[in-house]
Amino acid sequence: MEINHKIYRIQLKHTFGISRSKNDWYDVALIYIKDGGIIGRGEAAPSIRYNETTERIASILEKPTDLPYDISERGKIWSFIQPQLKGLKSLEAGFSMALWDWWGQKIEKPIHELLNINAGIMPLTSYTISIGELDEIAPKLKDAQPYSILKVKLGTPEMDKEIIREIRRHTEKIIRVDANEGWEEDNALEMVNWLADQNIEFIEQPFPANKLEFTYQLKKKSPLDIYADENSLVSTDIEHIANAFHGINIKLMKCGSLEEGKKMINMARSQELKIMLGCMVETSVGITAASHLAGEVDVADLDGNLLIKNDPYRGVNVVNGKLVLSELNGSGLELNPKFKHLVQ
């Protein structure tokens, strides 16, 4: 078994702005596990919000990864590799994806089948409209035309209402709002009540993660559901935050593996929480791997690959707004002919 990687710069179609940052590109780490003529592919898309960077990931990947002598079981390989990844959840996610992809191809089964998930019942995905100048909204909405649900980034108090008003000038599509921890307690309830009149479906992470009491108080009065993102990293967070939110957003880059993602689904169900499956800005490697969990969630926001110009792979498709996995084994990835000279 051989492990390789490549640092790959993904270029965005539009500047991607949220409450705390703006970016035109991101560097991700593509991870390859090879054995027996099979390549398993994974992706690490780190977020500085969680103190993870591509530089930290590269420093780990540049050192040889020790492998077990016995590679006959996927779980044993994972147990051997995971402790070497220094607790970086996005890197763990990348190795988890690559191992599941390799193993699924090896035994000729898709990942969702190995996880006992029904891929025949898949949700619609939203399409993200990031924060930017008001005159940038119309071009972004044009890109979003095939999608019936919009996820709109807010968290800039002086612009939030203007952003929604501008979008409503162009479309009456359902909107999901993500404040990315950007709101203040003083005007949050007034904002939620105003948004409820704008055909908004729910609010995601209104306050900083360390202001859980603010969210708990807002939930008691809010006419809209509130979902946790930055408060919902791994399964052990869920019981602690359940009273403050109506739902959680699961991202592989936060939780570290497909197994942990499925554990979070089960834990959220036990707490009677709604479940969103989300992503960072990623290639089709990360988005397709996450999509294998989508048959068990209520809401999908798996559009990271739709926001970039140079996706080197093809995997999950979106048909009439709905996620559709390929019939290939493992993750179900293929090289994009336009970029196949850049990746494996």
Query: How far, CA to CA in Å, does 178 sit from each of 12, 115, 171, 313?
Result: 19, 29, 18, 28
| % of residues, the chain, pLDDT over 90 | 97
Q: Are strands 127-129 and 149-153 parallel, antiparallel or unpaired?
A: parallel
pLDDT at 157: 80
pLDDT at 158: 86
CATH 3.30.390.10 fits 2-109, yes or no: yes
pLDDT at 249: 98
Tens of pLDDT, residue by residue over 297-324, are 999 999 999 999 999 999 999 999 999 9
Tens of pLDDT, residue by residue over 178-217, are 999 999 999 999 999 999 999 999 999 999 999 999 999 9
Any residues with CB less than 8 A from the CB of 80 and at least 6 apart, and which? 66, 67, 68
Is 0.95 surpassed by the pTM of this model? Answer: yes
Q: What topology does CATH give the domain 127-335? A: TIM Barrel (3.20.20)
* E strand spans, 271-343: 274-277, 299-300, 313-314, 317-319, 322-324, 334-335
d(Cα 107, Cα 95) in Å, to the nearest integer?
A: 18
Query: How far, CA to CA in Å, does 164 sit from each of 30, 177, 182, 215, 220?
Result: 36, 9, 16, 22, 24
Domains in the chain: boundaries:
2-109, 127-335
Check pLDDT > 90 for residue 99: yes
At 18, the pLDDT band (50, 70, 90 cuts) reads very high
pLDDT at 322: 94
Tens of pLDDT, residue by residue over 33-73, are 999 899 999 999 999 999 999 999 999 999 999 999 999 99
Across the range 138-159, mean pLDDT stands at 94
